[in-house]
C-alpha cells in the first residue's frame, strides 16, 4: 500500500491516470443520466431512478419507457461501446497498426453474411428471431477461425500475415454479402440493411446481460496481457528481449478481442468508427501506454455510444436515426478537430 502512495506522489503519470479514470467514470454516469431522462418524453431523474428500483406505477408509459426502453439501451450501449473500443485498442496493439479496428479484420463482414443468409432463407421466421444474433455470431466466429488458422504456421503466428488475411477475408465476405443482397427480394433487402446499420434496440434482455458480462470479463482478462501489449510496441523481437513471449499473448488477445467484437456485432449490428476513434483520441491524450488505454477506452467508448444513442433517437423524434450515422459523424468530426488542434499545439 505504501508503494502505491509513493507512486502517486513521485510519478505524476499515475496521478494523471487515476484522475482520468475518475473523470471518465463521471462522464459515463453523466451519459447514463442523460440517456435515462432525455428523449421523446422527458422524465425527471428522481422519478426515473425510482422506477428502476421498482417503485412507481408499473402501468404508466413512463415506467415502461424507463424500464423496457431506456435502461436496456444504456446497458447495451455501455457494453457495445466499451467492447468495440476495447477490441479496437487491443487489435491495434497486437498489429502495431493504429488503423485496425474490429471491422478491418472481417468480423463485421462475417456477422453480416451470417445474418444475410438467415434473412434470405427466412430461417428467423421458422426458428424465431434469436437465430439472427446466433447466425451473426457464427458468421463472425467462422471468419475469426479462418483468419487465425490461415495465419498460424508451424506453431508461430505471423502478425502481418494475419492482418492481410483478415482484410482479404473481409473483402470476400462483403462481396458474398453483396451477391446475396443483389438476388434477394426488396423486403429481405430492407431487413438486411436495417440490421447492418446497427441499433441498440434489443428486445432480449438476456442477450444484453451476456454482452455486458462478456465485455467486463474481456476487460479484466486483457489486463493479464497488458505488459505484453506494452512490450509489443517495440516489436515482437524486442519484446522477447524483455523476457515476454508475445506469441501466446497475441493469440489469446486476438481471440478475446475478436470474439467480443463478434458478440457485439451480432447483438447490435455494425456500429462503425467507435473501435477506431475512441482509442485514437485517448492515444492523443495519454500516449501509448496500454495500462491506461484499455480501461479508458472501455469507459469512453461506453459513454460515447450511450450519448450517440440519445442523439440518434431524439434528433428526428419520433423517428430514429441509425446509430452508426451518429457515431460516424460525431466521431469523425471530433477526431478531425482534435487532429488539427494537436498539429497547431506541437
- Give the integer Cα–Cα distance in Å for 285 and 27: 16
Q: Which is nearer to another protein, 190 or 241 (CB)?
A: 241
Is residue 184 involved in binding another protein (CB under 8 A)? no
Contact code string over 245-284 relative to another protein, x by CB under 8 A:
x-------------------------------------x-
Is residue 235 involved in binding another protein (CB under 8 A)? yes
Is residue 224 involved in binding another protein (CB under 8 A)? yes
Find the binder of another protein among 190, 233, 341, 342 (CB under 8 A).
233
Find the binder of another protein among 1, 3, 46, 53 (CB under 8 A).
3
Shortest Cβ 333–another protein spacing (Å)? 24
Find the binder of another protein among 33, 167, 181, 234 (CB under 8 A).
234
Instruction: Tell me the backbone φ, ψ of residue 60, rounded to 5 degrees.
Output: -75, 155
- Give the integer Cα–Cα distance in Å for 146 and 143: 5
Is residue 291 involved in binding another protein (CB under 8 A)? yes
Contact 99, 276 (CB under 8 A): yes
Q: Where are the alpha helices (DSSP H) in the chain?
A: 2-10, 12-37, 45-53, 61-64, 71-95, 107-120, 123-127, 131-151, 159-183, 186-197, 205-222, 226-232, 236-241, 246-268, 274-286, 290-314, 323-345
Find the binder of another protein among 187, 243, 316, 345 (CB under 8 A).
243
Q: Which is nearer to another protein, 6 or 127 (CB)?
A: 6
Is residue 209 involved in binding another protein (CB under 8 A)? no
Element (H, E) at 55: none
Contact 315, 261 (CB under 8 A): no
How many Cβ atoms sit within 10 Å of the Cβ of residue 67?
A: 16
- Give the integer Cα–Cα distance in Å for 138 and 133: 9
Shortest Cβ 178–another protein spacing (Å)? 37
* 58 DSSP 8-state letter: T
Contact code string over 135-154 relative to another protein, x by CB under 8 A:
--------------------
Binding site for another protein (CB under 8 A): 3-4, 6-7, 10-11, 13-14, 223-224, 226-227, 230-231, 233-235, 237-238, 240-245, 283, 287-289, 291
Amino acid at each position: 500500500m505504501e508503494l502505491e502512495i509513493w507512486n502517486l506522489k513521485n510519478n505524476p503519470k499515475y496521478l494523471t491516470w487515476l484522475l482520468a479514470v475518475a473523470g471518465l467514470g463521471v462522464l459515463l454516469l453523466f451519459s447514463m443520466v442523460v440517456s435515462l431522462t432525455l428523449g421523446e418524453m422527458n422524465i425527471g431523474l428522481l422519478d426515473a431512478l425510482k422506477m428502476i428500483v421498482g417503485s412507481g406505477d408499473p402501468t404508466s408509459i413512463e415506467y415502461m419507457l424507463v424500464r423496457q426502453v431506456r435502461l436496456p439501451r444504456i446497458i447495451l450501449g455501455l457494453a457495445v461501446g466499451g467492447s468495440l473500443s476495447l477490441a479496437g485498442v487491443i487489435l491495434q496493439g497486437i498489429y502495431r497498426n493504429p488503423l485496425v479496428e474490429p471491422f478491418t479484420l472481417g468480423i463485421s463482414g462475417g456477422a453480416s453474411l451470417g445474418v444475410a443468409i438467415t434473412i434470405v432463407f427466412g430461417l428467423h421466421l421458422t426458428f424465431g428471431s434469436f437465430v439472427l444474433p446466433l447466425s451473426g455470431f457464427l458468421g463472425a466466429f467462422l471468419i475469426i477461425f479462418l483468419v487465425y488458422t490461415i495465419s498460424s504456421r508451424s506453431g508461430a503466428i505471423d502478425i502481418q500475415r494475419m492482418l492481410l488475411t483478415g482484410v482479404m477475408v473481409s473483402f470476400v465476405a462483403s462481396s458474398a454479402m453483396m451477391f446475396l443482397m443483389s438476388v434477394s427480394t426488396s423486403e429481405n433487402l430492407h431487413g438486411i440493411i436495417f440490421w447492418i446499420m446497427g441499433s441498440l434496440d434489443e428486445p432480449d434482455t438476456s442477450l444484453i446481460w451476456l454482452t455486458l458480462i462478456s465485455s467486463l470479463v474481456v476487460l479484466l482478462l486483457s489486463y493479464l496481457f497488458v505488459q505484453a501489449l506494452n512490450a509489443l510496441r517495440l516489436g515482437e523481437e524486442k519484446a522477447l528481449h524483455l523476457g515476454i513471449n508475445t506469441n501466446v499473448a497475441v493469440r489469446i488477445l486476438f481471440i478475446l478481442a475478436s470474439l467480443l467484437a463478434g458478440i457485439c456485432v451480432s447483438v447490435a449490428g455494425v456500429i462503425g468508427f467507435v473501435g477506431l476513434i475512441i482509442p485514437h483520441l485517448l492515444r492523443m491524450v495519454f500516449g501509448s501506454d496500454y495500462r491506461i488505454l484499455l480501461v479508458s477506452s472501455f469507459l469512453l467508448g461506453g459513454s460515447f455510444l450511450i450519448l450517440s444513442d440519445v442523439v440518434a433517437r431524439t434528433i428526428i423524434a419520433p423517428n430514429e436515426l441509425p446509430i452508426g450515422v451518429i457515431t460516424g459523424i460525431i466521431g469523425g468530426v471530433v477526431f478531425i478537430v482534435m487532429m488539427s488542434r494537436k498539429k497547431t499545439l506541437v
